[in-house]
Amino acid sequence: MDNAFQAAFQLIVAMDPVLIGIVTLSLQVSLTAVAIASVIALPLGAAIALWQFPGRGLVVVVLNALMGLPPVVAGLMVYLMLSRAGPLGQFGLLFTPTAMVIAQIVLILPIVAALSRQVIEELWGEYREQLQSLGVSRLRAIPTLLWDARFSLITVVLAGFGRASAEVGAVLIVGGNISGVTRVMTTAIALETSKGNLPLALGLGIILLLLVASVNAVAYIIGEAAKRRLG
Amino acid sequence: MKNVLRNAAVAATALFAATAAHADRDRYITLASTTSTEASGLFEHLVPQFREATGIDVRVVAVGTGQAFEIGRRGDADIVLVHDTTGEEEFVANNYGRERRDIMYNDFILVGPSEDTAGLRDADSALDAFSRIAEAEHPFTSRGDDSGTNRAELRLWGEAGVDPGGQWYRELGSGMGETLNTAAGMDAYTYVDRATWTAFDNRQNLELVYEGDPVMFNQYGSLPLSQERHPDLKHDMAEEWHQWLLSDEGQAAIASYELRGEQLFFPNAE
């Protein structure tokens, strides 16, 4: 353990260019995936919360179940789609950061959609009468609900980010862990473990934790500041 | 779902295109190779020299030999470098590969607990060593992942007349490094290529206990993919890499790679 902290500390102090590249790519991939997934999943979750339609129960159960989608399965699905022998093969996206973004979107979209459905449904229970008495349609209510639930939804999005930045199974399959191109923190940790370089692997793990903690801290600070300003 | 993915792909591609560092992004090939060559650091030694000579970058996807064949069959890499001569010949015979050429070799070794419970240090052949492990029923960790190393190991059990199974035979289904980590944790014997062993840090109580039998020879071959099956691949650049590996320059680059003072790969292209 001591060696791991030492390794982490040395890497940070040295500002190792290879490490900086890996950290940048990790953030780039996971933040892009979270942004795209949220843009789709937040309104989707809200829509499921607001509308009654046949088979809604099934949709909710499937969405909730997909929160537990194993990363390696998500990776394999995306691999088969992007492979040259697959339906999207002509784009040549396999073993690129784009493929990793897609795999992470598949992984976190259900999480963000399912959790935001829950949050919005509860809020809708409170707001429904008032909004309907004002003659606001369901479609028009979505932006209001999303805005008023924003603090809870930040946590939802952070849960998605946590999942994206922590998983290794999907990005390893679709990215290929290519040095300097698709190597991210988690695949680098797996590689160092396979070399038996356990202190360095754990050191990278510590850096990844610090990174995720920083993103969460920034989100927390922004949330608190907004709460104070807006009451 | 497909539309969502397609839109996301377009958006993400635009995002990454904007941040791409290389102006000439298409001057690269994708090479499917084995974990042993990657973990030993060989490609970090070879690729810069090849890039210097040709301006082509090589992106290495390091997986087990079985998976590398699958990547090649699907056309997801431009060229394959693996170590399972029998499988490679089949790959070419089935017209997935255009040709197969010897590039380099090293050897497999047996590592195990320093006490050497099964007495492998006294073994007079590889088959004797494998028989001793089976007789002693000392734990043995097998890759169990259809890799080149796994295939070579299974062939030797067969030749030793042992049907490996039972409590002592642990089939892990993981890469070489993970298998060594497990072997170190349970003080087991395992079959490993010398390059991965030399680069491996977490040895704990493990030591090299048997080496040197010619049947433990480990040949690597380069396989450019079939142009008929996959017309869209970067065949020309892949061919340059293939020829460079076979050239005096490439062969010398392989021979000059050392890790911890030891030469790990021996060029033998004809």
What is the per-residue pLDDT across A31-40, written as a single tens digit (0 to 9) for each? 999 999 999 9
CA distance A54 to chain B (A): 20
Q: Please tell me the total count of domains within chain A.
A: 1
User: Rounded to whole angstroms, how far apart are CA atoms B230 and B224?
Assistant: 11
What's the mean per-residue pLDDT of chain A?
93
Q: What is the crossing angle of helices A150-166 and A17-50, to 10°?
A: 130
Cβ within 8 Å, pair A84-B76: yes
Residues B162-178, mean pLDDT to the nearest whole number = 93
Q: Is residue A97 one of the residues assigned to a domain?
A: yes
Cβ within 8 Å, pair B5-A179: no
Q: Which residues of A touch B (CB under 8 A)?
A: 28, 32, 36, 40, 81, 83-91, 93-98, 101-102, 105-106, 176-179, 181, 191, 193-198
Cβ within 8 Å, pair B177-A84: no
Q: Is residue A144 one of the residues assigned to a domain?
A: yes
Residue with the bigger pLDDT between B222 and B2: it is B222
Quote the pLDDT of residue B18: 45
pLDDT > 60? residue B111: yes
Dump the DSSP string for B90-122. HHHHTTSBS--EEEEEEEEEEEEETT-TT-GGG
**CA contacts within 13 A on the Cβ side of B208:** 14
CATH of the domain at A182: 1.10.3720.10
Cβ within 8 Å, pair B178-A93: no
pLDDT > 60? residue A182: yes
Written out in words, the top-level CATH class of the domain with range B2-105+218-267 is alpha beta
Instruction: State the residue range of the domain holding A97.
Output: 18-197
Q: Residue B188: helix, strand or coil by DSSP? A: coil
Cβ within 8 Å, pair A101-B203: no
Residues of A in contact with B16 (CB under 8 A): 28, 96-98
Residues of A in contact with B11 (CB under 8 A): 36
User: Rounded to whole angstroms, how far apart are CA atoms B89 and B235?
Assistant: 20
Q: What H or E segment, with its residue span, contains residue B193? A: strand B189-193
Residues B152-157, mean pLDDT to the nearest whole number = 96
Q: Which residue of B has its CA nearest to A91?
A: B9
pLDDT in tens, B27-79: 999 999 998 888 889 999 999 999 999 999 999 999 989 999 999 999 999 99
Q: Is residue A127 one of the residues assigned to a domain?
A: yes
Quote the pLDDT of residue B30: 96
Band (pLDDT 50/70/90 cuts) for residue A5 is confident
Domain boundary assignment for chain B: 2-105+218-267, 108-217
Q: What is the dihedral of CA B195, B196, B200, B205, to 10 degrees?
A: -100
Q: Is residue A150 one of the residues assigned to a domain?
A: yes
pLDDT > 60? residue B160: yes
Q: Which of A86, A88, A193 sits opposite B181 (nearest CB)?
A: A193
Residues B221-242, mean pLDDT to the nearest whole number = 96
User: Rounded to whole angstroms, how far apart are CA atoms B28 and B56?
Assistant: 5
C-alpha R_g of chain B: 20
CB B149 within 8 A of CB B197: no
Please tell me the least confidently modeled range out of B4-8, B137-141, B154-158: B4-8
Q: Which residue has the tokens 């300003």?
A: A229
Residues of B in contact with A105 (CB under 8 A): 5, 8
Residue A210 corresponds to which tokens in the numbers above? Answer: 């610090």
Q: Residue A59: helix, strand or coil by DSSP? A: helix
Count of pairs with CB atoms under 8 A, one residue in A, one in B: 95
Cβ within 8 Å, pair B75-A85: yes
Cβ within 8 Å, pair B201-A195: yes
Q: Which residue of B has its CA nearest to A86?
A: B74
Cβ within 8 Å, pair B12-A84: no
* Domain B108-217 CATH assignment equals 3.30.70.1520: no
Q: What percent of chain B has pLDDT over 90?
A: 85
Which of A93, A98, A168 is the best substitution to test chain B (most B C-beta atoms within 10 A)? A98
pLDDT in tens, B32-42: 999 888 888 99
Residue A157 corresponds to which tokens in the numbers above? Answer: 């999005």
Band (pLDDT 50/70/90 cuts) for residue A3 is confident
Quote the pLDDT of residue B19: 45
Cβ within 8 Å, pair B76-A198: no
User: Rounded to whole angstroms, how far apart are CA atoms A91 and B76?
Assistant: 12
Cβ within 8 Å, pair A36-B39: no
Residue B41 corresponds to which tokens in the numbers above? Answer: 């650091």
What's the mean per-residue pLDDT of chain B?
91
Q: What H or E segment, with its residue span, contains residue B142? A: strand B140-142
Cβ within 8 Å, pair B201-A197: yes
Band (pLDDT 50/70/90 cuts) for residue B23 is very low
The pTM of this model reads: 0.88
Cβ within 8 Å, pair A196-B76: no
Q: Which of A86, A102, A194 sits opposite B12 (nearest CB)?
A: A102
CB B175 within 8 A of CB B64: yes
Q: Is residue A219 one of the residues assigned to a domain?
A: no
Cβ within 8 Å, pair B76-A83: yes
pLDDT > 50? residue A159: yes
Q: What percent of chain A has pLDDT over 70?
A: 99
Q: Which of A40, A195, A198 sits opposite B39 (nearest CB)?
A: A195
Q: What H or E segment, with its residue span, contains residue A229? A: helix A198-230
Identify the CA nearest to A91 among candidates B171, B119, B76.
Answer: B76
Q: Which of B5, B178, B230 sits opposite A194 (nearest CB)?
A: B178
Band (pLDDT 50/70/90 cuts) for residue A228 is confident
**Domain B2-105+218-267 matches domain B108-217 at the CATH topology level:** yes
Cβ contacts of B48 within 8 Å, gap of 6 or more: none
pLDDT > 50? residue A65: yes
Q: Which of A36, A84, A101 sits opposite B75 (nearest CB)?
A: A84
Residue with the bigger pLDDT between B11 and B27: it is B27
Q: Which of A32, A88, A196 sits opposite B15 (nearest CB)?
A: A32
Q: Which residues of B touch A (CB under 8 A)?
A: 2, 4-6, 8-9, 11-13, 15-16, 19, 30, 35, 39, 43-44, 59-63, 74-76, 175-178, 180-181, 184, 199-203, 230, 232-233
Quote the pLDDT of residue B22: 43
